[in-house]
Amino acid sequence: MVPPDNKPTVGSGFNSCLIRVQSLSDAVRILEDLGVERGGVTIMKSKMRHLVVSVENIQARATHILKQVMLSRGGECATPREVYLLTNEPVKVVMMGTVNQFRDAIINLRLQPFGLSRLAAELQELIDGAGSGVTGMRTIEAGRHSLTVGGRTLVMGILNVTPDSFSDGGMYNSLDEAVSRAHEMVEAGVDIIDIGGESTRPGSEPVPPDEELRRTIPVIKAIASEIEVPISIDTCKSAVASEALDAGAVMVNDISGLRMDPEMVALVSEADVPVVVMHMQGVPQNMQDNPEYGDVVQDIARFLREQASVAVAGGISREKIIIDPGIGFGKTLDHNLEIIRRLDEFKSIGYPVLCGPSRKKFIGAVLGRETDQRVFGTAATVAFAVDRGADMVRLHDIEEVLDVVKMSDALAGRDEGAAVSTALSRPDRP
């Protein structure tokens, strides 16, 4: 099954997202991109000093109420210049104000027509999250393991048992090599090992399920009882995920965002395991063929929010969903830089955020480095991602970059407590 591209959809919620505004030039860009008149930009740019929230799918006639409600509380609501010529058509707005101004406005919006009462509920969830650090500290149960997110950054180690992955293809083809590498990563301090049997580099072709199983299952079986960190299976196929979970994996990493295999949601729900929902525009064969977005961060946020809702509707616990904006999967150099620069905006969705920049092509494009020479570029990107609130980072170079993660956590003031425990080490075990 080929997943559809992530296009904006009307009626799927308001995609309310906190926007990062670091300077007046940021404010001007956001307002101009929205289509605000020049005079409005001049007036409103200085008001974007507190919370700034982008909201989609607002009926044009409702924007007038929304603006008046925000103004009456001392806040503001920017609208596109053509909004006065429209009625029911959906438009995007940008709301701005303090937390208290938003809370006061929400009370009023609950009583308003044209879908604004539903917006009030979504804004309430968003503002509550912003007030508590968005995701806060939480524990994700993964089999006999517990992962704590919201404290120190978790490190997911990449173990590709493929002949053709873009970075490490062929390095761990034999069972002994793969098992040895798994132990090396655990010794270095990795929190999760992500095992994949299908290359998803740009232009790659799908691998039959039987071949993917042949590559991954023996490795999972060999290490599941020997290591004290969770094992994740990197696959879009429910048949592969099912056997991997039976073999000892306790987590699913789906690059298609639960779109490629209609059985994946049911499988993850029944197994009650954590799942990474990743964004990808297109499929690996064509994802780098001129990828396009409106606002890359908000388009991806919309997709991730909708797919997380699909997961919850299918029985997957909200507490077991992790989102990944999919660095390098249907993105240009500028898209990737913008995603990492604004990574904290994805926290608005309310789920832990995984960032996977390791050795990616955009690092090579900036530095002029080949794949095996991108360790320092990866390290710099990871440090920035940690500062922007990444809950997990996915890495090849565990030994080299783990120190960067630890140092970045220390500088960011993140909790140094254990982020992973097992049933054997938990004090409350029976």
Active site residues: 360, 394
Cα–Cα dist 280/303, whole Å:
10
Cα–Cα dist 424/430, whole Å:
10
With H, G, I as helix, E, B as strand and everything else as coil, classify residue 17.
Answer: strand
List CB contacts of 292: < 8 A, sequence separation 6 or more: none
Cα–Cα dist 157/177, whole Å:
15
Strand 192-196, strand 354-355: pairing: unpaired
201: region left, alpha or beta (phi > 0 left; psi from -120 to 50 alpha): beta
- Estimate the share of the chain in helix, then strand, then coil, as percent rounded to the nearest 5: 45, 15, 40
Cα–Cα dist 69/95, whole Å:
11
Cα–Cα dist 107/4, whole Å:
38
